[in-house]
Chain A
Amino acid sequence: MNWAGLYTVLSGVNRHSTAIGRIWLSVIFIFRIMVLVVAAESVWGDEKSAFTCNTQQPGCNSVCYDHFFPISHIRLWALQLILVTTPALLVAMHVAYQQHQEKKLLVLTGHGDPKHMEEVKKHKMRISGSLWWTYVCSVVFRLLFEAVFMYIFYMLYPGYQMVRLVKCEAYPCPNIVDCFISRPTEKTIFTVFMLVTSSICIVLNMAELVYLVVRACARRSQHNSNPSSGKGSFYGHKLSSEYKQNEINQLLTEQDGSLKDMLRRNPGLQDKGDRCSAC
């Protein structure tokens, strides 16, 4: 499991994201993960071996390195990227659950052939209803993780700039010892770059949140003015006559959620769905 594996996992989520969500995912993978892998990792590669202190005292080098770099930038960024990308899996799980429900309903209403199952798997879920809440939660989590890591970075490495020289007096260093950091300017450039892309991602997440909220309000006002329009359910768009039937079933069951439970518990009642579609 490496970054490529994460990319495979998250590419699937891409299909059910908003346009801003897709842009966010591209920025994450190209400008953050890829830059981390192809460039930043080699800059920090020799951070410990080339960390030099002006002393012959054994152990002083290690202690001073550990004192000034409790956790390396590279590892912090890797953790940040993993935590920031994984809330999207909440959405993937919810979509998988909804698809599973749709398939069960199709089977119960007598449309369980492979063609319809494939249709269910391939069609894009509308972000409405409970999926909307899951999606919004995932965006909020992303924002939270980004903010937390930016703060941790600032706490650990105030100012984001990497200095050339640090003065260390931790035991066993005999006195205040000068220690020199390797490639400080290059590290500063990449730190600033990663910071800027992180801010861009935060802005994209906020824009996506605003977009989702505005869309939900617009849909709600449209629904209030025209109650017969399609409910904000996952059958919102009509693919074919089978989905028209599903929408009718969905509308019937949405009023009374217990009907779905009944169908699940008593498969013999599937005829009721057919009778309802004839109404």
Chain B
Amino acid sequence: MDWGALQTILGGVNKHSTSIGKIWLTVLFIFRIMILVVAAETVWGDEQDDFVCNTLQPGCKNVCYDHFFPISHIRLWALQLIFVSTPALLVAMHVAYRRHEKKRQFRKGDQKCEFKDIEEIRRQRFRIEGALWWTYTSSIFCRLAFEAVFMYAFYFMYDGFRMPRLMKCDAWPCPNVVDCFVSRPTEKTVFTIFMIAVSSICILLNVAELCYLLTKFFLRRSKRAGNQKHHPNHENKEETKQNEMNELISDSCQNPVIGFTS
């Protein structure tokens, strides 16, 4: 179970995302996860081995390293990326639930079901409206919240985003104030700034996606208010008219499909 498996899991979510969501996912995988795996992990690979303190006192180096790096950048980014990508699974679960309901309808031999076979249900792309809209919007909020929390944690723990060359340490058992030298500080600073920049871009993309969804929601609502006959829940363009007819016929009955629109 590694980043490749996460990519497989999230790849499926891509189909039901907005265009901005797809861009966000691409930025996440290429500019954050891939950079982390192929570059950043090597830069931080020798962070403890090459953390050198000007003392022979055993234990001083360990204690000073632990004091200045309570959690390594790499691990923080790994946790951030895992937390930021998992809200998309809420959307995947909701879509899977809807698909399951449609399959159940189809198997019951429901005449109102507009699909020809199970495969079509599996391949169908759901429109982001109704309950799915709320799930999608919540997932974006969660992403934004996680990004913000981790950015703040980073800033709080490392007092800014710059990696200094030298740190002065006087934690026990160091005999006095000892100079400790960090390995590859400039390279680490470069990658830290890069990851922060990409993280900010992802935050902007999430905010843009949120605005897009809200705008679409209000536009749809005003269109619906203006046009009384417009029915809210249609998935495919070619079935829209048929669905409308079906809905008009079945409007008097309990149509489970309408349950999704609340």
Chain A interfacial positions (CB closer than 8 Å to B) = 3-4, 6-7, 19, 22-23, 26, 29-31, 33-35, 37-39, 42-43, 46, 50, 52-55, 164-165, 178-186, 189-190, 193, 237-240
The residues of B that contact A22 with a CB separation of less than 8 Å are: 93
Supposing A42-B74, A43-B75 touch, asked if A186 and B2 sit within 8 A by C-beta, the answer is no
The residues of A that contact B1 with a CB separation of less than 8 Å are: 3-4, 6-7, 29, 33-34, 37
Across the interface, name the chain A residue whose C-beta is closest to B41: A42
Q: Which of B62, B70, B82, B107 has the most CB of A within 10 A?
A: B62
Chain B interfacial positions (CB closer than 8 Å to A) = 1-3, 5-6, 9, 48-49, 57-59, 61-63, 65-66, 69-72, 74-75, 78-79, 82, 86, 89, 93, 97, 107-109, 173
Point out the residue from A6, A7, A26, A237 that lies within 8 Å of B89, measured CB to CB. Answer: A26
User: Which 4 A-B residue pairs are closest in the complex by CB-CB distance?
Assistant: A180-B59, A185-B70, A180-B62, A54-B58
Across the interface, name the chain A residue whose C-beta is closest to B75: A39
Supposing A7-B1, A164-B62, A180-B63 touch, asked if A39 and B48 sit within 8 A by C-beta, the answer is no
Give min CB distance, A164 to chain B, whole Å: 6
Point out the residue from A35, A46, A178, A184 that lies within 8 Å of B66, measured CB to CB. Answer: A184
Supposing A30-B82, A54-B173, A185-B70 touch, asked if A165 and B59 sit within 8 A by C-beta, the answer is yes
Supposing A7-B5, A54-B173 touch, asked if A30 and B86 sit within 8 A by C-beta, the answer is yes
The residues of A that contact B108 with a CB separation of less than 8 Å are: 238
Give min CB distance, B110 to chain A, whole Å: 12
The residues of A that contact B48 with a CB separation of less than 8 Å are: 46, 50, 182-183
Point out the residue from B61, B71, B89, B107 that lies within 8 Å of A185, measured CB to CB. Answer: B71
Q: Which of A30, A46, A189, A237 has the most CB of B within 10 A?
A: A30
| Contact present for B107 and A186 (CB under 8 Å) | no
The residues of B that contact A165 with a CB separation of less than 8 Å are: 59, 63, 173
The residues of B that contact A237 with a CB separation of less than 8 Å are: 107
A118–B10 alpha-carbon span in the complex (Å): 28
The residues of B that contact A52 with a CB separation of less than 8 Å are: 58-59, 61-62
Across the interface, name the chain A residue whose C-beta is closest to B173: A178
Can you list 16 A-B pairs, Cβ within 8 angstroms, ordered by A?
A23-B93, A29-B1, A30-B89, A31-B86, A34-B6, A37-B1, A38-B3, A38-B78, A42-B74, A43-B75, A165-B173, A180-B58, A186-B69, A186-B70, A193-B79, A239-B107
Point out the residue from A19, A35, A54, A240 that lies within 8 Å of B59, measured CB to CB. Answer: A54
| Contact present for A189 and B71 (CB under 8 Å) | yes
Q: Beyond A4-B5, A165-B173, list 4 extra A-B contacts (CB 8 Å).
A: A46-B48, A186-B69, A186-B72, A189-B71
A50–B108 alpha-carbon span in the complex (Å): 64
Across the interface, name the chain B residue whose C-beta is closest to A43: B75
Supposing A164-B62, A186-B71, A237-B107 touch, asked if A39 and B5 sit within 8 A by C-beta, the answer is no
A179–B173 alpha-carbon span in the complex (Å): 11
A2–B71 alpha-carbon span in the complex (Å): 27
| Contact present for A178 and B2 (CB under 8 Å) | no
Q: Which of A23, A31, A165, A183 has the most CB of B within 10 A?
A: A183
Q: Which of B48, B58, B93 has the most CB of A within 10 A?
A: B58
The residues of A that contact B82 with a CB separation of less than 8 Å are: 30-31, 34-35, 38
Give min CB distance, A205 to chain B, whole Å: 18
A53–B62 alpha-carbon span in the complex (Å): 11
A38–B198 alpha-carbon span in the complex (Å): 20
A257–B49 alpha-carbon span in the complex (Å): 69
Across the interface, name the chain A residue whose C-beta is closest to B3: A38
| Contact present for A35 and B79 (CB under 8 Å) | yes
Across the interface, name the chain B residue whose C-beta is closest to A185: B70
The residues of B that contact A43 with a CB separation of less than 8 Å are: 72, 75
| Contact present for A34 and B5 (CB under 8 Å) | yes
The residues of A that contact B5 with a CB separation of less than 8 Å are: 4, 7, 29, 34
A239–B106 alpha-carbon span in the complex (Å): 9
Across the interface, name the chain B residue whose C-beta is closest to A35: B82
The residues of B that contact A23 with a CB separation of less than 8 Å are: 93
The residues of B that contact A181 with a CB separation of less than 8 Å are: 62
A55–B109 alpha-carbon span in the complex (Å): 79
Across the interface, name the chain A residue whose C-beta is closest to B61: A52
Give min CB distance, B37 to chain A, whole Å: 9
The residues of B that contact A4 with a CB separation of less than 8 Å are: 1-2, 5
The residues of A that contact B74 with a CB separation of less than 8 Å are: 39, 42
| Contact present for A34 and B2 (CB under 8 Å) | yes
Point out the residue from B58, B71, B86 that lies within 8 Å of A53, measured CB to CB. Answer: B58
The residues of B that contact A39 with a CB separation of less than 8 Å are: 74-75, 78-79
Q: Which of B49, B61, B66, B109 has the most CB of A within 10 A?
A: B66
A19–B18 alpha-carbon span in the complex (Å): 26
